[in-house]
Chains A and B, each alone.
Chain A
C-alpha cells in the first residue's frame, strides 16, 4: 500500500494505491488517521486501489467516523465500478460524499485545481 499526500488549498488529498486487505488495513488506517487535518477537508483518491476486502471497507468507515469527531469532511473519488457496487450493497457509500474526479471535488470545494504539488 502506498499513500501519496498532497495539499490543494485547504484540502488534503490522499491517494491510495495497492491492495487494502486485513494485512494492510491496520497500518493504512493508522497512517491516514495521523494525517487527518482537524476541521479540514480530506479527499481520498481510491483510483489506484486493487483488492479491497471487508477489513479495507472498515478502514474507510473508521476514517469517516474519526474525521467526524475532528470536524473534517471526507470525500471519495476514483471508485471502481466493483468498489462502488460493494459500497452500495453494504450501505457504506451513504456515509461518504463521492465525486467523480479529484478536479470535480476541488472545484466543488472551491479549491485551486491542478496547482501546488501536482501529482504525488
Chain B
C-alpha cells in the first residue's frame, strides 16, 4: 500500500493502519485536503463539539463508499481532526466526512452521522460537472469533495493593481455571456469561451470584469418546470454557494475532467494579459443549505450553531431572504471567510470582490448590526487583500440599508444604489437636478470622507431591468418566472417612451436609443467608478423581465447579433469610455471643492443652466450643465461641458467663455441622428457658434473646450 516513499521527509512514513490504509497523525493546518510530500494526503477538519469524525472515501462516481476511515481520536488537536492517508489514487477519489455529535446534542446542533458531509475547504467538487446534466437524485452524497493539484504555471502574472480612478467595470455572467450560438466561440458557456471574448471587451475599453457568482453552486437548486411554458427553470445566477473554495465545475469546458481550476486560472491569466482585472461577485451572506427544511451539505452537520445565525429557539435567521444567514462575525466564521478570500486573491490572482448583501457581514451573532464589525475590519486591513477592491452591496433582505454608511475603514466601496435611482428618475423626467448634480461628482453626500472611487456608479445591473428594458417598459414582466409576476422589484423608475415593450413605432424607438445614450453619458462622465451591465452597450433586452435569475435561455444569454444590429450604440459607448480615459477630470478621485487645483483659471467644477454660470436648481428644473476643468492625459488644459436635458422641449444653452485660444468642440450630441451623435475622441468637431449650443429634447451634449483640433 505504501507507495512512493521517496521524498526526504522523516514524517512521510505511516504510523499505523486504519481499515487497511496506512495513516499517520495529520497536520491541523491548512484545513481541507492537501497533497503532502511522500505520497500522502493530509485531511483536516474542524468541528467544535464532534465526538468522532470518519473520513469517507469514494471511487469517483461510485454509489457506495470505497472505505470509511475513522480518524483515531488521539489524532485530534483542539477541535480539529486531522489525518494523513497514504497510497490514495488521488485523481480518482472523492471524499467526505461523517461527523458524530455528542450523545446529548445541544438543541441548536444538527449532527447526523447518517449523512456524509462535504469539506467546506474543498478545492473542487464533483456532482455538477457539466452544466445542466440532470443529477441522479438518489445518489448519496450529491456534492462531493475532490482532491486537486495546486500547481499552475502563472509565469509572471500578478494582479493588475489598476488605480480605482481609472476603472471601468463590466458585470457579466460566465455562462450567459457566450452560451448563445451567436457567440461563435469553440466552447460556449465556459471560462474558456469567455477567454475568446476578451478582444471584444478590450476593444470596448472596459478594464475590469465583475463575474457573477463562480463559486460551486447547484443550478438544479429549486429547479422546476414552468407549468405555463413547459420550460425548465434553473438557479442560473448562482447566488447560493455550495463550495466556497471551488470554482464552478459546470462553467468549465474541462469540468468533466476535473480541470476547472486550471481553466479558471488560465482565464484570469488571459484577462490580465489583456489589461483587464477580474473581480468576483461573492456570496458569503448565506449558503445553499437553506432553512430547517434544506439539504445538509457541510456546515449544518459539522457545527450548526457556529456557522449559522440562530434565533434563541434554534431556528435560522433569514436576513438573506433565502433561508439562512451565515454567522459571519463569530470568530471561527470570520476566519473562514477571510482565509477563503485570501485563497482566491493569492491562488487565483483575483483583483477584487463584490459582496452580495454585504450588510449581513456587519451583523453580530445575534443579528444586530455592529458598530465595528470585526469581519469587515479584518478584510479592510488584511495584508493579502491590500490591493483588492472590496465592494459592498450595502443592504440586505432584513431591512438594513447602508449605502453611504457601510462600515468602511476608508477602504470599502459600495454599489451606489442612489446613483442608479437618481439617474433613472432624471431620465424619465421626474428628477431633482440637485440630486443628479451630486451623483455626477461622486456623491460627496455619501463618500466625502472616502473619495469618489468609493462610489461604484451604475444604472443597471444583473438585478433589475437591462438598459434597453429600462427605456422600453414601465412595468416588470416576469411571467416566465412562473410566479404570476409577483417576484422582482416593482419600483423600477423606468419609462417605456410611449409604448410598452417591442414596437414598430419609429419615433418611440428613436427616443429609446437616445435615452440609452443619455444614460451612458451620465454613467461614463460622472466621477466614481462606472459599472456597465454586459449587453447594455448593444441594447440587450430581457423582454421586460427584471428578475431573470432562473432562466438559462436566450432571455438571459448575450445575443452577439446585436453587436452588428446595434453597432451605433456600441460605437457610442466605446467613444465615451475612450473620452473618459483622455480626460482625468471626469474620474478625479477627489470630490470637487470649487477651487482651481490645476491653475487653469477655472474652478474644478462649475454649474450652468440656459444661462452660463446660472444653474436652475428649482424643483421644476429638468436641465443641468456641468463644466469640468483640468488637464487631459497629454497634459493640456481641458474643459469638458456636459449638459443634460430631460425636458420634452429643446433649450438653447449659453456656453461659458473659454480662455484665450481655446474653442468649444462637440463630442456628443445625443439628439443628432445616428452616428453623428458622437465622434472619435481626439476628432471632436469645432462648433460654428462658440457662444451657445442647442440642447435637444431629452438629450445630452458633451463639449470639449481645447485648443482648435485639426479636422
List A residues at the B interface (Cβ < 8 Å): 21-23, 26, 53-55, 57-58, 61, 65, 85-86, 88-92, 95
| Choice from A55, A61, A65, A89 contacting B254 with Cβ under 8 Å | A89
Q: How far is the CA of A91 from the CA of B89 in the complex (A)?
A: 25
Residue of B89, B266, B269 touching A23 (CB-CB under 8 A): B89
Does B91 lie within 8 Å of A57, measured CB to CB? no
B259 touches A85 (CB 8 A): no
A86 CB → nearest B CB, Å = 5
Proximity bits, B365-391, A CB within 8 Å = 1, else 0: 000000000000000000000000000
Closest beta carbon of chain B to A31's beta carbon, Å: 16
Are B186 and A54 interface neighbours, CB within 8 A? Answer: no
* A89 & B191 in contact (Cβ 8 Å cutoff): yes
CB pair A89–B91 under 8 Å, yes or no, is no
The answer to whether B253 touches A85 (Cβ under 8 A) is yes
Cα distance A54–B153 in the bound complex, in angstroms = 14
Q: How far is the CA of A90 from the CA of B154 in the complex (A)?
A: 12
CB pair A89–B263 under 8 Å, yes or no, is: yes
Q: Tell me if A58 and B149 are in contact (CB < 8 A).
A: yes
The answer to whether A86 touches B259, judged by C-beta atoms less than 8 angstroms apart, is: yes
Complex alpha-carbon distance, A65 and B263, angstroms: 19
B262 touches A92 (CB 8 A): yes
Complex interface: chain A residues within 8 A of B90 (CB) = 22
- Give bound CA distance, A89 to B258, whole Å: 12
Contact call B258/A57, Cβ cutoff below 8 A: no
Can you give 28 contacting A-B residue pairs, CB < 8 Å?
A21-B91, A22-B89, A22-B90, A22-B91, A22-B92, A23-B89, A26-B4, A54-B91, A54-B258, A54-B259, A54-B262, A55-B91, A57-B262, A58-B149, A61-B153, A65-B153, A85-B187, A85-B253, A86-B253, A86-B254, A88-B192, A89-B191, A89-B253, A89-B254, A90-B262, A90-B266, A91-B270, A95-B153
Which residues of B are found within 8 Å of A86, using beta-carbon distances? 253-254, 257, 259
Which A residues are in CB contact (< 8 Å) with B259?
54, 57, 86, 89-90
Taking CB atoms, residues of chain A closer than 8 Å to B187 are 85, 88-89
In the complex, chain A residues whose CB is within 8 Å of the CB of B266: 89-92
- Flag whether B436 is at the interface (Cβ < 8 A): no
A61 neighbours in B (Cβ, 8 Å):
153
Bound CA–CA A35/B266 (angstroms):
30
A90 near B254 with CB under 8 A, answer yes
* Smallest CB gap from A89: residue in B: B192
The smallest beta-carbon distance between A76 and chain B, in angstroms, is 16
Tell me which residues across on chain A come within 8 A of B186, comparing CB atoms: 85, 88
Inter-chain contact A89/B252, CB cutoff 8 Å? yes
Interface positions, chain B 109-168, Cβ under 8 Å from A, are: 148-149, 151, 153
**Is the beta-carbon distance between A90 and B149 smaller than 8 angstroms?**
no
B518 at the binding interface (Cβ < 8 Å): no
The 4 closest A-B pairs by CB, nearest first: A91-B266, A89-B192, A22-B91, A90-B262
State whether the Cβ of B324 lies closer than 8 Å to any Cβ in chain A.
no
Q: What distance in Å separates the Cβ of B248 from its nearest Cβ neighbour in chain A?
A: 14
Closest CB-CB distance, B38 to chain A, in whole Å?
A: 13
A40 vs chain B, min Cβ distance (A): 23
CA distance A85 to B269 in the complex (A): 18
B190 on interface, CB distance cutoff 8 Å: yes
A64 → chain B closest CB, angstroms: 9
Measured between alpha carbons, how far is A65 from B153 in the docked complex, in Å? 10
User: Across the interface, do B262 and A53 meet the contact criterion of CB distance under 8 Å?
Assistant: no
In the complex, chain B residues whose CB is within 8 Å of the CB of A58? 149, 151
Q: In the assembly, what is the distance between CA of A98 and CA of B258, in Å?
A: 24
Q: Which residues of B contact A88 (CB under 8 A)?
A: 186-187, 192
In the assembled complex, the CB of A22 is this many whole angstroms from the nearest CB of chain B, namely 4
In the assembled complex, which residues on chain A have CB atoms less than 8 Å from the CB atom of B257?
53-54, 86
Q: Are B91 and A53 in contact (CB under 8 A)?
A: yes
A86 nearest CB neighbor, chain B only? B254
| Other 6 A-B pairs with CB < 8 A, given A21-B91, A26-B4 | A54-B148, A85-B187, A85-B254, A86-B257, A89-B259, A91-B262
User: Inside 8 A of B270's CB, which chain A residues have their CB?
Assistant: 91
Residues on B with C-beta less than 8 A from A23 are 89
Q: How far is it, in angstroms, between the C-alpha of A86 and the C-alpha of B186 when the chains are bound?
A: 12
CB nearest to B91 among chain A residues: A22
Find out whether the CB atom of A89 lies under 8 angstroms from the CB atom of B190.
yes
A55→B258 CA distance, assembly (Å):
11
Closest to B264 in A: A90
- Given A22-B89, A53-B91, the answer on whether A90 and B263 have CB atoms closer than 8 Å is yes
On chain A, the residues within 8 Å of B263 by CB distance are 89-91
- Cα–Cα, bound, A30→B200 (Å): 43
Closest to B192 in A: A89
Closest CB in chain B relative to A67 CB, distance in Å? 14
Chain A residues with CB under 8 Å of B91's CB are 21-22, 53-55
Contact with A along B45-76 (1 / 0, CB 8 A): 00000000000000000000000000000000
Closest to B267 in A: A91
A57 cross-chain contacts in B, Cβ below 8 A: 259, 262
Query: What distance in Å separates the Cβ of B6 from its nearest Cβ neighbour in chain A?
Result: 10
| Cross-chain contact B258 with A53 (CB below 8 angstroms) | yes
Instruction: Determine the distance from Cα of A54 to Cα of B148 in the docked complex, in whole angstroms.
Output: 9
A12 CB → nearest B CB, Å: 24
Q: Determine which residue in A53, A58, A90 has the highest number of CB atoms from chain B within 10 A of its CB, and name it.
A: A90
Nearest A residue (CB) for B4 = A26
A26 / chain B contacts, CB cutoff of 8 Å: 4
CA distance in complex: A13, B590 (Å): 63
Closest-CB distance, A56 to chain B (whole angstroms)? 9
CA A88 to CA B258, docked complex, whole Å: 15
CB within 8 Å of A: which of B233-274? 252-254, 257-259, 262-263, 265-266, 269-270
Query: Which B-chain residue is minimally distant from A95 (CB atoms)?
Result: B153
Nearest B residue to A84, CB-CB: B186
Docked Cα-Cα span, A86 to B252, in Å, equals 10
The docked-state distance in angstroms from the alpha carbon of A61 to that of B192 is: 19
Q: How far apart are B255's CB and chain A's nearest CB, in angstroms?
A: 10
Query: Cα distance A21–B91 when bound, in Å?
Result: 8
CB contacts (< 8 Å) of A53 on chain B: these are 91, 257-258
Q: How far is the CB of A90 from chain B (nearest CB, A)?
A: 4
Q: Kindly state the separation between the CA atoms of A111 and B358 in the bound complex, as whole angstroms.
A: 63
Point out the residues of chain A lying under 8 angstroms from B258, CB to CB: 53-54
B269 contact set on A, CB distance < 8 A: 91
Chain B residues positioned under 8 Å from A89 (CB to CB)? 187, 190-192, 252-254, 259, 263, 266
CA distance A53 to B91 in the complex (A): 8
Instruction: Kindly list chain A residues whose C-beta atoms are within 8 Å of the C-beta of B254.
Output: 85-86, 89-90
What distance in Å separates the Cβ of B235 from its nearest Cβ neighbour in chain A?
Answer: 24
A65 to B155, CA, bound (A): 11
Return A35 CB to nearest CB of chain B, in Å: 20
Closest CB in chain A relative to B388 CB, distance in Å: 23
A interface footprint on B483-499 (CB within 8 Å = 1, 0 otherwise) = 00000000000000000
Query: Which residue of chain A is the closest to B191 with respect to CB atoms?
Result: A89
In the complex, chain B residues 2-51 whose Cβ is within 8 Å of any chain A Cβ: 4
Please give the distance in Å from A81's CB to the nearest CB on chain B. 10
- Bound CA span A22–B258, Å: 13
